[in-house]
Amino acid sequence: MKNGVLWDVRSGEEVHKFDVSNQTFSGVFCPNALEIVSDDKVWDMRTHRLLRTVPELQGATVKFSPQNVIYAIESKRRYLLGSRTLLFMCQSFKTLDGYNYSTIKIENVGGRIYDLCVNKYGSEIALVQKWKAETVLRFYSVGKRKEEDDEDDTGGKIDFYFNKISTHRDQINQFPERTNITTLEF
């Protein structure tokens, strides 16, 4: 999908032009192969109709885990201050249910987030962050269950914890311009 147009890669022909009225003209294919997420809109691949609008995904970069969890990193926020436009990188990411697009949790990690990657099991994530004057790569474990003796207002459901495993500074600071970890495997 490019510029709101879905193309057949085998024939190079246009399949459908979506009515996109946002700044994000490309989309992300859902792992179920039935939906496309483009900005805050979820489109049905079979009927080419809008299924739903998910405000939590507006302006976000979307990543999927094998457990049907959606990770959304909000792109740069723009603020107008008089005649100047200020850009801020977000310091949190959202987790959403991949079936109904409801918000599971918003996790504040402190440093500005450049990119997020999920391992092939969905059990760990890696974040490229700007922390103070350094660019760091942080690994987090995902999806721990709450212990029975913990205070819990969710009725015993799974709560997503993000436990920091490690932080790596030296390796990534050698290449500060290369902060995209989409192809990172761990």
Query: For 23-49, what is each residue's pLDDT tens digit?
Result: 555 678 888 888 988 888 899 988 989
pLDDT at 139 over 60: yes
pLDDT value of residue 1: 66
Q: Where are the domains of the chain?
A: 1-53
pTM: 0.70
Residue bearing the bigger pLDDT, 166 or 130: 130
Distance CA 94, CA 131 (A): 19
Query: For 53-82, what is each residue's pLDDT tens digit?
Result: 999 988 888 999 988 899 998 766 555 566
Distance, CA of 143 to chain centre: 16
pLDDT value of residue 61: 86
Residue bearing the bigger pLDDT, 73 or 146: 73
* Confidence grade of residue 169 (pLDDT, cut at 50, 70, 90): low
pLDDT value of residue 51: 93
Query: For 100-138, what is each residue's pLDDT tens digit?
Result: 999 998 888 877 888 888 988 888 888 888 777 788 888
pLDDT value of residue 70: 92
First to last CA, the chain: 28
Distance CA 70, CA 50 (A): 19
Q: How open is the CA angle 174-124-176, to the nearest 5 degrees?
A: 15
**Comparing C-alpha atoms, which of 111, 109, 113 is closest to residue 163?**
109
Distance CA 3, CA 61 (A): 16
Q: What average pLDDT score do residues 138-165 get?
A: 57
pLDDT value of residue 140: 83
pLDDT value of residue 58: 85
